[in-house]
Amino acid sequence: MLREKNYLNKIQLILFTCFLFLWYISANQTSLRTIAICIFGIFCIIEVVKIFSNKKIMFNSALLSFIFLVAFGFISLLWAKDDSAVISKAIALFMGFVFLTLSYNFFMKIENPTDVIIKIIKLVGVIFSIYVILYYGIMHYFNMLLSGRRIGTEIINVNFIGVISSITFILLIYDLLLKNTQNKIGIILFSIIPLIVSLGTGSKKVIIVIVLGLIILLLKKFKEKFTLRNIITIFMFLAVIIISISFFYNRGYLNTIFGRFETMINTLLNEEINSGSTYVRKMFIKSGLEAFLRSPLFGIGLNNSRIITYELFEEETYLHCNYVELLACMGIIGFTLFYYIYYYVIYNCIKNKNTKNSDIIMIIFIINLFLDIGNVSYYEIKTFMYFLLGIVFVGTIKKEKKKNEIKR
């Protein structure tokens, strides 16, 4: 019986990993997206059967907060102007809840679930990065990279590619700097692939992820072992990064990403910008905050930000800031329900700061909080994946504490 369960768990792990990869690459390919949904459907059916056979479903306050968010999204139909916009995103959120709940129940029943999820994120991230390069062809990809073109729009949103690949890079560098890993050369080689792909997207978010992630990792490394060897290693690491950036910048390579990041810095320093995507985003945020102030508690209705953007630039899109998007569309109630999950995970990471993986999970969540300033993430699969990692980590800690209490 135990052997059968282990066999079934392996099948589900394969299904889950395949689903995640196919979902990443299938935004513009209906057939692949259908296959991804079917694969996850099989995963779900197996898990539902297991839940019914065990007569037990695992739940926590983060999942409860998320289902309340889904319910509140549907309820916003009562005051929203665009009902179809509400329904489309409410269904997406509900599917996210199904993903989180069934995946949580699966991973909580296997050994070392947090380690397994981190391995899946790294594996899929590296394979996805390789796929992006092979999609264009190796030589053609590098020619586009050096020309400064934003690479990846034919596959999926370039910011999505940038975040996935750059966080994969940070996870691999974490293994290199803070784990006693034997195969350091292998990790360095594998980390180069997502780094190249992330830079190729020309996304400003990539710079934020890499710079913020490396700073946190280096500070942690420095704090753990204050030795001359570590100080030299850190300075050499920083020197390589600075020299590499200077080389690319002075040669005119990767002009897209450097130019876009420079524009973002100018905006933060209140430089006068009257055109371009940064100006558009400033207008979106300003109008979104005005909408929030008109209805601070409930918002204007889930996904109804498209009304605001259409009035401004005749384009139905989102507000390009997760905080403003949630405040404008779902008010303080929706905002609190969503960001409670961040609080739930980060609080427990701090509370159990000496527990394995608490540091890297907190790094991922802090990075995503920064990214939400210029990104709408509340309905994205990558957000659900990081939520899953966080709540499984917390669930595992609480499970171990209960076991220890019973033993006493």
Q: What b/e readout covers 346-371, taking b as 16+ CB neighbours within 10 angstroms?
A: bebbeebeebebbbbbbbbbbbbeeb
pLDDT at 221: 75
8 A C-beta contact, residue 23 and residue 61: no
Report the sign of the C-alpha dihedral through residues 262, 266, 269, 275, in that order.
Answer: negative
DSSP state of 374: G
DSSP state of 372: G
pLDDT at 374: 87
Arithmetic mean of pLDDT, 285-292: 94
> How many CA atoms lie within 13 Å of 253's alpha carbon, on the beta-carbon side?
14
- Output the six-digit token pair for 163: 């975040």
Q: HEC profile for 245-273?
A: HHHHHHHCCCHHHHHHHHHHHHHHCCCCC
302 conformational bin, left if phi > 0, alpha if psi -120 to 50, beta if neither: beta
Neighbours of 58 (CB within 10 A): 16
pLDDT at 294: 94
Please enumerate in sequence order all residues whose Cβ is within 8 A of that of 393, keeping only pairs 6 or more positions apart, or say none: 114, 345, 348, 349, 357, 358, 361
Helix 358-371 to helix 158-178 angle (10° resolution) is: 150
Q: Is 77 helix (H, G, I), strand (E, B) or coil?
A: helix
pLDDT at 113: 96
8 A C-beta contact, residue 322 and residue 377: yes
- Which of 267, 269, 290 has the alpha carbon at shortest distance from 277? 267
- Which of 329, 309, 325 has the alpha carbon at shortest distance from 317? 309
Arithmetic mean of pLDDT, 358-386: 95
pLDDT at 142: 86
| Residues 71-123: tens digit of each pLDDT | 999 999 999 999 999 999 999 999 999 999 999 999 999 999 999 999 999 99
183 vs 172, 179, 186, 255, CA distance in Å?
Answer: 12, 11, 5, 34
pLDDT at 224: 63
Q: Mean pLDDT check: name the lowest of 109-123, 143-157, 254-268.
A: 254-268
Arithmetic mean of pLDDT, 281-290: 91
Q: Mean pLDDT check: name the lowest of 106-110, 182-186, 296-300, 389-393.
A: 182-186
Arithmetic mean of pLDDT, 283-300: 94
Arithmetic mean of pLDDT, 346-352: 96
pLDDT at 402: 83
- Output the six-digit token pair for 101: 């709940």
pLDDT at 407: 66
Size of the chain, expressed as the number of residues it contains:
408
Integer Cα distance of 338 and 68 in angstroms: 9
pLDDT at 122: 97
pLDDT at 106: 97
How far separated are the first and last CA of the chain, in Å rounded? 30
Instruction: Tell me the pLDDT band of 207, cut-offs 50, 70 and 90.
Output: confident
Q: Mean pLDDT check: name the lowest of 121-135, 203-217, 354-368.
A: 203-217
Integer Cα distance of 287 and 293 in angstroms: 10
pLDDT at 316: 84
Instruction: Tell me the pLDDT band of 258, cut-offs 50, 70 and 90.
Output: low
User: Which is more confident, 387 or 269?
Assistant: 387
Q: What is the CA angle 88-92-96, rounded to 5?
A: 170
Q: Mean pLDDT check: name the lowest of 80-89, 171-180, 281-290, 303-312.
A: 171-180
DSSP state of 74: H
- Over the chain, what is the mean pLDDT? 88
Neighbours of 59 (CB within 10 A): 12
Can you give the pTM of this predicted structure? 0.91
| Residues 160-200: tens digit of each pLDDT | 999 999 999 999 999 988 887 778 788 888 999 999 999 88
The domain ranges of the chain are: 1-57, 58-107+114-407
Integer Cα distance of 334 and 299 in angstroms: 8
